[in-house]
């Protein structure tokens, strides 16, 4: 198994996270090409859109499957994952998304699927691994439909695998909508241990376009410090990477840089900015590079 670089710092306040794998701009570069950009600290691969009957999408980046199966087999993506990790980036697999057939019927279902994910994508040894011997750095929950059952048990079971493995650090992240509490992940966020939470401040009344009066980062900060299982959880401002990346909530780079600077000066929970998605944020506008540069020039931690 190939292990990740230890360069990624989850405690930083200057991390830039990009979702990749859905070609939301109409096309996308390879994972390896995006990882060649020093602006990005974490890449979240989208999506494991069907579970517990596992199906991946990655929007045509990979089309080959295991014999007799619909499960994608992606050696080229595996090589890119290793490249990203060799450059100190964390690579995480996102489960769910806005479209897909997914969910658990019970806690037992969640625990069983955690074992499956460990063996297929993380430090286990499954017979069919979509990314071969590449070991991902964690799992993201972008749960936008289906049942709310089983996710806390799923996270707890994954964490039991993490604790039993001393090889590397793994992360659990979540991507709730900004209205608090999140309809799908609210109870899971309160009971399970998350390392990073990428709050989607777009497509809702509480988004970036409502800053400052209607922007509810403070509500999420209160949750992080008083209700979260991990009182040191890092919160990210989730932002569309271009006007076409969301129905509402896009702001230009100078505006989000100002918002991020204000939030970082007030809240120790701030971890950086997340964007949907790489194909939009890293186009000719260089929105992603500008936002990441501003984060990093502002220092890595709140003083």
CA distance 4 to 22: 24
Catalytic residue among 33, 70, 144, 163: 144
Compute how many other C-beta atoms are within 10 angstroms of the C-beta atom of residue 99. 12
The Cα 223–Cα 219 span in angstroms is: 6
CA pair distance 104, 113, nearest whole angstrom:
9
Tell me the H-state helices in the chain. 31-35, 75-86, 107-121, 151-164, 186-191, 217-226, 253-266, 278-281, 287-297
Alpha-carbon gap, residue 33 to 37, rounded angstroms: 7
Q: Give the pairing type, strands 101-102 and 171-174.
A: unpaired
How far CA 184 is from CA of 129, 207, 276, 286, in Å, comes to 28, 18, 19, 33
Crossing angle, helix 287-297 and helix 253-266, to 10 degrees?
Answer: 30
244 φ, ψ (degrees, to nearest 5): -85, 0
Angle at 71 between CA 157 and CA 48, to 5 degrees: 50
Provide the pairing of β-strand 138-143 with 90-97.
parallel
DSSP H or E run through 275? strand 270-276
In contact, 16 and 272? CB cutoff 8 Å: yes
Which pairing describes strands 42-51 and 101-102: parallel, antiparallel, or unpaired? parallel
Q: Alpha carbon 280 to chain centroid distance?
A: 16
33 catalytic? Reply is no
Catalytically annotated residues:
144
């Amino acid at each position: 198994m190939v292990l990740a670089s230890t360069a990624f710092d989850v405690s930083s306040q200057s991390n830039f996270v990009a979702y990749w794998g859905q070609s939301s701009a109409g096309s996308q570069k390879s994972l390896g090409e995006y990882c060649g950009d020093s602006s990005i600290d974490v890449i979240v691969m989208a999506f494991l859109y069907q579970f517990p009957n596992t199906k991946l999408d990655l929007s045509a980046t990979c089309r080959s499957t295991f014999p007799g199966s619909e499960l994608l087999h992606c050696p080229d993506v595996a090589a890119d994952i290793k490249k990203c990790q060799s450059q100190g980036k964390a690579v995480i697999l996102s489960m769910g998304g806005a479209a897909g057939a997914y969910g658990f019927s019970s806690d037992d279902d969640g625990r069983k699927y955690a074992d499956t994910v460990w063996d297929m994508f993380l430090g286990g040894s499954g017979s069919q691994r979509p990314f071969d011997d590449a070991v991902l750095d964690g799992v993201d929950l972008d749960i936008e439909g289906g049942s709310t059952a089983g996710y806390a048990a799923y996270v707890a079971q994954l964490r039991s695998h993490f604790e039993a493995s001393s090889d590397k650090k793994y992360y659990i992240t979540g991507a709730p909508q900004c209205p608090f509490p999140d309809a799908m992940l609210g109870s899971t966020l309160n009971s399970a241990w998350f390392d990073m939470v990428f709050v989607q401040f777009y497509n809702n009344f509480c988004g970036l376009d409502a800053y400052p009066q209607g922007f509810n980062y403070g509500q999420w900060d209160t949750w992080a410090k008083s209700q979260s299982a991990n009182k040191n959880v890092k919160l990210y401002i989730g932002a569309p990477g271009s006007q076409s990346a969301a129905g509402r909530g896009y702001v230009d780079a100078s505006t989000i840089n100002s918002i991020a600077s204000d939030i970082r000066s007030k809240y120790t929970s701030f971890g950086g900015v997340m964007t949907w998605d790489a194909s939009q944020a890293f186009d000719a506008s260089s929105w992603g590079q500008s936002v990441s540069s501003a984060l990093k020039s502002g220092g890595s931690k709140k003083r």
